[in-house]
């Protein structure tokens, strides 16, 4: 007698079940025990992101998952975050001991690497070599609070990111001198041919000045400059001019001088005084945050004839708002067909609605042509009482959100 056939669950349904449970580690572990066929899908979610940082009790057994010779989960890791962290008087450095044991070659699916508070001088040559090897495969590499007194190690690290499409660095301070760069950085310095997106603070000018001096071939098309102060604005402009026609999208974040004691001049002046965006002839998207007069001066130097959208972050309480002046660059010249997107911020909904109505009144032609958009960050309508907290946190032009940004407040990470 033929044994009755067992009912089969379609693989597609299995995937739907596992995908639905992606944020429940216990449920995923249970799924992996149900049948061997569910194992890859559940592991893909369960071990997609590994965060290892300075707290030993949180780090737990995660390090062994990527260093133990018997571990089989390495192919499932897509996002790896390593954080040395603060508190040296309490917690010893751990990365120097951990890095040599990480099975770098077996992390074959690694797509994103985060490095948080890496103390370069605390790492042995063996650990440094393993760290650079770890940078070769990911398509996205993000650094935060990179500690070093020289720009050279950072240049070496960028060169090691051979597959990177996105490179971001924040909260880092480095110094660079011409003789140091010439002596320590090889003349054959290259960047990833895949690199398209670079995000960095303006005060990292020793880093991008070094890149401009080394002049490697590149295909960078998107640059985000955060915290662009007057002392670095000219260097940023020269870097963009060196990048030239490859740049298609630029975000410039000039801090509000009203937040600085006894400061009256804007931070944009050094940027446009050296030519600003004049050499970026392939720009399609421009995102600006700063003082209205300074931003208008930046826009007047744009030479790209293919700009599609200009997004400007405006505060309804800014004392120098001249709404009519914003129409001038968009009525003639290279921006005559571009869309103006105003991302408004303010103390309350009433002030935002008033700001929107004033813009519509001052720029009726742009509104009629469908070229004027006024909204909150994240595309939220102006009259939204309470926009999502995460959108409000990151502001008009969101930066890369790192998993390690959250580890001080969430032991579950």
The answer to whether position 408 is within a domain reads no
* Contact between residue 314 and residue 285 where contact means Cβ atoms under 8 Å apart: no
**What residues make up the domain containing 369?**
221-401
Mean pLDDT for the stretch of residues 385-408: 62
Structure tokens at 271: 């940027």
Structure tokens at 150: 């020289």
The answer to whether position 211 is within a domain reads no
Domain count, the chain: 1
Which alpha helices (H) appear in 218-323, and where do they start and end? Answer: 230-243, 269-273, 292-299
The answer to whether position 237 is within a domain reads yes
C-alpha 204/C-alpha 151 separation (Å) is: 9
What pLDDT does 260 receive?
Answer: 66
What digits encode the pLDDT tens for the residues 89-115? 556 688 999 999 999 999 999 999 999
- Which pTM does this prediction carry? 0.84
The answer to whether position 411 is within a domain reads no
The answer to whether position 364 is within a domain reads yes
What pLDDT does 102 receive?
Answer: 96
The answer to whether position 370 is within a domain reads yes
What pLDDT does 310 receive?
Answer: 98
Cα distances from 91 to residues 55, 234, 326, 343, 407, in angstroms, run: 8, 41, 53, 43, 16
More confidently predicted of 82 and 175: 82
Give the domain CATH number at 383: 3.80.10
The answer to whether position 309 is within a domain reads yes
C-alpha 154/C-alpha 189 separation (Å) is: 12
């Amino acid at each position: 007698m033929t044994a009755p056939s067992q009912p089969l669950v379609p693989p597609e349904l299995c995937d739907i079940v596992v995908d639905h449970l992606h944020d429940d580690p216990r449920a995923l572990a249970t799924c992996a025990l149900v049948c061997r066929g569910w194992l890859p899908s559940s592991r893909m979610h369960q071990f997609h992101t590994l965060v290892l940082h300075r707290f030993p009790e949180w780090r737990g057994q995660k390090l062994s998952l990527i260093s133990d010779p018997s571990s089989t989960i390495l192919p499932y890791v897509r996002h790896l975050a390593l954080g040395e962290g603060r508190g040296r008087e309490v917690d010893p450095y751990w990365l120097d001991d951990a890095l040599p044991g990480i099975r770098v070659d077996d992390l074959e699916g690694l797509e994103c690497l985060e490095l948080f508070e890496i103390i370069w001088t605390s790492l042995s040559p063996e650990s440094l070599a393993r760290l650079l090897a770890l940078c070769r495969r990911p398509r996205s590499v993000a650094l935060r609070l990179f500690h070093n007194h020289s720009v050279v190690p950072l240049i070496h690290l960028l060169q090691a990111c051979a597959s990177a499409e996105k490179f971001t660095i924040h909260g880092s301070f480095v110094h660079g001198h011409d003789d140091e760069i010439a002596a320590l950085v090889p003349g054959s310095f290259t960047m990833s041919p895949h690199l398209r997106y670079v995000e960095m603070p303006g005060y990292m000018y020793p880093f991008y000045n070094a890149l401009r001096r080394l002049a490697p071939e590149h295909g960078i098309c998107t640059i985000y400059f955060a915290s662009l102060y007057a002392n670095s604005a000219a260097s940023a402009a020269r870097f963009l001019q060196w990048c030239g026609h490859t740049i298609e999208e630029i975000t410039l974040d000039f801090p509000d001088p009203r937040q600085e004691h006894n400061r009256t001049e804007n931070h944009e002046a050094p940027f446009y005084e050296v030519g600003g965006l004049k050499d970026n002839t392939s720009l399609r998207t421009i995102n600006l945050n700063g003082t209205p007069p300074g931003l208008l001066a930046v826009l007047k130097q744009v030479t790209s004839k293919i700009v599609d959208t200009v997004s400007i972050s405006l505060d309804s309480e800014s004392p120098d708002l001249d709404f009519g002046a914003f129409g001038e660059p968009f009525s003639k010249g290279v921006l005559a067909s571009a869309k103006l997107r105003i991302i408004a911020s303010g103390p309350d909904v009433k002030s935002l609605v008033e700001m929107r109505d004033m813009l519509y009144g001052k720029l009726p032609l742009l509104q009629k042509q469908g070229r004027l958009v006024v909204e909150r960050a994240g595309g939220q309508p102006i009259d939204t009482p309470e926009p999502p907290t995460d959108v409000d946190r990151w502001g008009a032009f969101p930066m890369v959100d790192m998993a390690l940004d959250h580890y001080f407040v969430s032991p579950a990470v």
